[in-house]
Structure 1
Amino acid sequence: MKINWGTGIVIAIALFMSFILYFVIKVQVNSKYDNELVVEEYYKHDAVFGNEMKRVQNAEDLAEKPIVTQTTAGVTIVFPDVFVPNKIKGTVSLYRPSNKKLDFETSISLSNPTLLIPKSKLVGGRWDINMEWQYDGKQYLTKETIYIN
């Protein structure tokens, strides 16, 4: 049996499509390849994006901003002296881009201007920190990225 060019091209395309389809199905079925979203309900998240930008701008307009540093004890967040520590309320969300199961939140309840997140809670790698806080009725949102060794 002799195969002409047209038949050979059709067979090659069909084999290539089968090859690609095999890998697509393998990635979707296998739990080793995790396909999770960054935000569960991203349409609702986008609906309040304007409010989020206003809070980010409030934080950028501050003369003295909170400082996030990595120490041997963990991650410290130091609020400026112009703020009375017990009037600062909010939450600090630590987001791990590579593994959603490691994400956690800590509430801001201070007696001194420093908040410590212990190193025992943090696995090495990249962490995105979102601080949603308010002081005297004004809301702020500060975003930082740190790398833990």
Structure 2
Amino acid sequence: MKTSTENKSFTLWPYAIVVCMVMFMGYIASFVYKAMNQDVDLVSKNYYEQEIQYQDHINMMDRTKAAGNVAITYNHDIKGILVQLPESFKGQPIQGKVNLFRPSDDQLDQELPLQLGRDLSQLIETEKLQTGLWKVRVSFTAKNETYYAEQNIQVAKP
């Protein structure tokens, strides 16, 4: 006759499986916690509203191309961005803004008023801008029509 102690054999497999499952669930829970607390910025704060107005944006760009080339150039020697409107706008009252957009950090974005000289140009100093890629966006109104131009520039320090 067998005793009850002979039938009982101790094995660690069930405990090891349970411990592994608990550790895996803990890893997944910590991963989900980190993912939920990650700050995810869109390219723009009002991205969805901008998408709805995209056709108007396309129309503005077409009008700008038809009126002439808006030149946006970066000059490393004078440490500035030169915005030059075409001669077709000469003698017209122009109001607008220049937006300096930093794709990698939205807190560095700047918006400046468009203040053109007699030659329809404006120089924007870049000494205080961080080095790297910037998008210069110029939007303005002339004769009750809106216009828009955009150019990528690479700001470099000497």
TM-score range, shorter chain: 0.7 to 0.9
Residues 83-141 of structure 1, C-alpha deviations (whole Å, 9 max, x = no match): 21662221111111111111011111212321111012321011112111122222111
Range that drifts further, 47-56 or 83-92? 83-92
Question: Structure 1 residues 140, 11: CA separation in 2 closer, same or farther (over 3 Å shift)?
Answer: farther
Q: How does 1:95-106 map to 2 (within 5 A)?
A: 95-106=101-112
* Equivalences, count: 142
Please list every run of at least 4 consecutive aligned residues from structure 1 whose deviation after the TM superposition is greater than 3 angstroms.
10-18, 26-29
Counterpart of 1:84 in structure 2 is: 90
Counterpart of 2:7 in structure 1 is: none
The answer on 1:65 being equivalent to 2:75 is no
Query: Does the 8 Å contact 2:72/2:136 carry over to 1?
Result: no
Unaligned regions of 5+ residues in structure 2, if any? 1-10
Counterpart of 1:122 in structure 2 is: 129
Q: Which amino acid is the alignment partner of residue 114 of structure 1?
A: S
Taking structure 1 as the reference length, the TM-score comes to 0.77
Looking at structure 1, the residues matched to 57 and 132 of structure 2 have their Cα atoms a distance apart, in angstroms, of 26
Residues 20-44 of structure 1, C-alpha deviations (whole Å, 9 max, x = no match): 4424433554xxx643232222222
Counterpart of 2:149 in structure 1 is: 142
- Asked which structure has the greater CA Rg, the reply is 2
Unaligned regions of 5+ residues in structure 1, if any? none
Question: Structure 1 residues 148, 20: CA separation in 2 closer, same or farther (over 3 Å shift)?
Answer: farther
Question: Structure 1 residues 34, 76: CA separation in 2 closer, same or farther (over 3 Å shift)?
Answer: farther
The answer on 1:39 being equivalent to 2:52 is no
